[in-house]
Amino acid sequence: EMQLVESGGGLVQPGRSLRLSCVASGFTFDDYAMHWVRQAPGKGLEWVSSISWNGNTIAYADSVRGRFFISRDNAKNSLYLQMNSLRAEDTALYSCAKARQLIYDGLHVWGQGTMVTVSS
């Protein structure tokens, strides 16, 4: 069974940093692109970032570009999101998701998410 498990969320003050992790199992991690998607409390889904299977192609939403950095370690079946200069509006449940086949594709496997709360 394909599975994604996120960790690293928590309460953080504005301006500080946080690093999220996502560990994959049940599929060949280094064959697939991965994405981060967030959902603020009571709000809709917001795509955050994506990374190709080899890390060579990376993209960000305008709202996080220059502050967030996506990376992966295929040897550890792990995806990361380094979040710097956090703002109150970054408060959300952050989920990692696996693309079906292409880097930009339907997201068919999702983790349960890790909650990030930015507040003083």
Partner 1 sequence: DFQMTQSPSSLSASVGDRVTITCRASQGIFNYLAWYQQKPGNIPKLLIYAASTLQSGVPSRFSGSGSGTDFTLTISSLQPEDAATYYCQRYVSAPATFGGGTKVEIK
* R_g over Cα of the chain: 13
Under rule CB under 8 A, residue 30 binds partner 1: no
Q: Measure the CA–CA gap between 11 and 116, rounded to whole angstroms.
A: 6
Question: Site mask, partner 1, residues 31-50, x = CB under 8 A?
Answer: ----x-x------xxxx--x
Helix (H, G, I), strand (E, B) or coil at 88: helix
Helix (H, G, I), strand (E, B) or coil at 8: coil
Query: Could you tell me the smallest distance in angstroms from the CB atom of residue 58 to partner 1?
Result: 9
DSSP assigned state of 27: S
Under rule CB under 8 A, residue 107 binds partner 1: yes
Under rule CB under 8 A, residue 53 binds partner 1: no
Token readout for 38 is: 């967030």
Query: Could you tell me the smallest distance in angstroms from the CB atom of residue 38 to partner 1?
Result: 10
Under rule CB under 8 A, residue 3 binds partner 1: no
